[in-house]
Structure 1
Amino acid sequence: MELRHLRYFVAVVEEQSFTKAAERLFIAQPPLSRQIQNLEQELGTQLFERGSRPLQTTAAGHFFYQHATKLLANAEEIKSMTQRVGSTDRVVRIGFVSSLLYGLLPRIIYFYRQQYPQLKVEVLEISTKDQIQALKEGKIDVGFGRLRISDPAVRRILLREERLSIAVRNSHPLSQHQQGIFLADIADESQFFYPTTSKPNFSNQVQALYSEHGLAPKYTQEVRDIQVALGLVAAGEGICIVPESASKVQMPHVSYIPLMDADAISPIFLAMRGLEPSDDIRALFGCIYQIYDLEGVKYDREAVRHFF
């Protein structure tokens, strides 16, 4: 006796008709009738009153129905519990660079957790460069970063491009340019570059942007991270180039001014191992683009369709 036989029998009892039960089960009526006959032969007893309209069970059939429904319910519960137990070992480890915490990444991770509660999601702050090795060693499954670092074992997907801004103290003369400012206008200012993590990093990205414009900032200091840089800006020690999303950091006495140069952008990449992505990673992509759609963030939809 198989579970499908129990499902067939229960459907016939509840529909009180072989025809309606066959429609409910999406099978033809003759095979259904044969399955019920085989079941009766196996049990050695008649389960339905022949010729009754609507179809009625015998006493043995009624007894069998009561226990069949319990067995089917138990089978579904066992299936569900087994899936939950099996899923507890499913872990997705996400690496990220700290500046992304000011943007949409926290919302994406929260949404991912809410949509897939069976997954254990772990997040680790790790530089873009170190993410590559961490991916190859299996320490993380995906990495969110800002640098174009190529490796044959790693696949990199451009998620979007974020504009850059200048962080200045409110009393700084540059704070009057709220509509925007160009790199050439700030090259002579004292500036803080960050972070001091292994190169290449965001500091290199900013320096490269200056070089592409034929500029070289005269007074620079490298600091540990964006928080230190913004603190020094608030102290009136200089200015700092930051991603546009950093403007959400409401630090006293600090203003954010858009950089107007067309190429003043910072790309946001997702890196993953070069193998076919797992269903869990595909689900993460789905969450990313749902948040982007909700926020009206532009991204390459053709690239998304190609990936999926």
Structure 2
Amino acid sequence: MGIRHLRTLLAIAEAGSFQAAAERLGLTHSAISMQMKAFEEELQSQLFDRSRRPPDLSPAGKRLLPKAREILALYESLSEAGSREEDLSGLLRLGAIPSATASFLPEALAQLGQHHPRLQIRLESGLSTELTRELLNGKLDCIIITQAQRLDETLKATVLRRERLVVVACNTEENQKVSQGEDGDIDLLNHLPFVRFNHLTGVGKVIEQNLRSRGASLREVMELDSLEAIQRMVAKGLGAAIIPESGIGSESNLLAIPFGKPVATRTVSLVEKYRGQRPDLTQALAQTLFAVLDTPELTTNGSIRYP
């Protein structure tokens, strides 16, 4: 068994067919096929169901994938194992939710690159659930997500920040008046159509739980997964939304008030496996993130207006 067999197996799994893998690796279809047949003979196991067109991974092949990724990661880290702490090198495969990539992450990656110029970062953006799945499957080394209440027992989380959620609406005199009551956040949501933040995201689930606990019944008109798009819709008077306060950009004419009693928050965490391949790299990333993040103390009352 050689490293090339493992690379070919992963290429087929990711590309979806022998032909697509051959194009990705710069080989012929017959070379790919011969490699996999030799690999199957060595393992004495059928890795592909060749009764299907194109051939699909068999149950045995699917079980082998996580181990193949782990072995390749170890192999690729051999030359990096002796790196000094102050001169880290290698590849860190990072996943992050969109709100992180649009706010604090660019600065953190820039600083990390300045301190460790030989370190390479491959970044993937996605939803918390998708990124967690890829972390468990070995496709990513660590992820920045809205932490769920429960994580898989093989994962550990480092809390980066806790962000309060706010109700945002167009900053009009009428909306200001509606929001000044004891339950101003719910009053404002009831007063306007609801622009929902994607309920499949981590923060979307936090929002849904809080709305349900307060018995809110809203007139939903949109569901978006872009904070920028939500703010644009809201600023044009098309409704009210609930978003993380840190996600508020430079959009003008926006009114924001804390959501929930006490104020609802989301927890943004750096998540990795307990037995990660490069804990030195994830630790360096965590330290840089802490240096970049400057989270204010959470308060439970008062409104915030963004002129």
How big is each residue's C-alpha offset from its partner over 1:139-170, in whole Å with a ceiling of 9 and x where there is no partner? 22111111315212322232221011222112
Q: Secondary structure at the match of 1:151?
A: coil
Q: Distance in 1 between matches of 2:83 and 2:145?
A: 33
- Provide the residue aligned with 1:136 in structure 2: 136
- Provide the residue aligned with 1:125 in structure 2: 125
The change in CA–CA distance for 1:274 and 1:298 in structure 2 (over 3 A counts) is farther
- Provide the residue aligned with 1:254 in structure 2: 254
Unmatched tracts of structure 1, length 5 or more:
1-81, 300-308
1:207 deviates by 1.1
1:179 deviates by 12
Q: Distance in 1 between matches of 2:181 and 2:115?
A: 39
- Provide the residue aligned with 2:290 in structure 1: 289
Q: Distance in 2 between matches of 1:234 and 1:112?
A: 35
How big is each residue's C-alpha offset from its partner over 1:268-287, in whole Å with a ceiling of 9 and x where there is no partner? 11111121562111111211
Counterpart residue identity of residue 272, structure 1: E
Q: Distance in 2 between matches of 1:267 and 1:227?
A: 20
1:126 deviates by 1.3
In the alignment, structure 1 residue 193 sits paired with structure 2 residue 196: yes
How big is each residue's C-alpha offset from its partner over 1:230-287, in whole Å with a ceiling of 9 and x where there is no partner? 221122110111111122x112433333336324111111111121562111111211
1:288 deviates by 1.9
Query: How many pairs align?
Result: 211
Aligned pairs for 1:130-279 (under 5 A) are 130-148=130-148, 149-171=150-172, 173-175=174-176, 182-188=184-190, 189-195=192-198, 199=200, 201-247=202-248, 249-259=249-259, 261-275=261-275, 278-279=279-280
Q: Distance in 2 between matches of 1:236 and 1:296?
A: 29
Aligned alpha-carbon RMSD (Å): 3.1
How big is each residue's C-alpha offset from its partner over 1:75-108, in whole Å with a ceiling of 9 and x where there is no partner? xxxxxxx969xx8971112111112234422222
Identity %: 18
The change in CA–CA distance for 1:138 and 1:241 in structure 2 (over 3 A counts) is same
Scaled by the length of structure 2, the TM-score of the pair is 0.59
- Provide the residue aligned with 1:302 in structure 2: none
Q: Secondary structure at the match of 1:272?
A: strand
Scaled by the length of structure 1, the TM-score of the pair is 0.59
Name segments (4+ residues, structure 1) moved above 4 Å: 176-182, 296-299
Q: Distance in 2 between matches of 1:172 and 1:178?
A: 11
Confirm or deny: 8 A CA contact 2:196 2:220 kept in the other structure.
Answer: no
Q: Distance in 1 between matches of 2:101 and 2:217?
A: 29
Q: Secondary structure at the match of 1:139?
A: coil
Confirm or deny: 8 A CA contact 1:129 1:201 kept in the other structure.
Answer: yes
The change in CA–CA distance for 1:179 and 1:141 in structure 2 (over 3 A counts) is farther
- Provide the residue aligned with 2:93 in structure 1: 93
Unmatched tracts of structure 2, length 5 or more:
1-81, 299-307
Counterpart residue identity of residue 131, structure 1: L
Counterpart residue identity of residue 257, structure 1: I
- Provide the residue aligned with 1:20 in structure 2: none
Counterpart residue identity of residue 184, structure 1: I
Q: Distance in 2 between matches of 1:179 and 1:111?
A: 44
Q: Distance in 1 between matches of 2:142 and 2:182?
A: 35
Confirm or deny: 8 A CA contact 1:187 1:216 kept in the other structure.
Answer: no
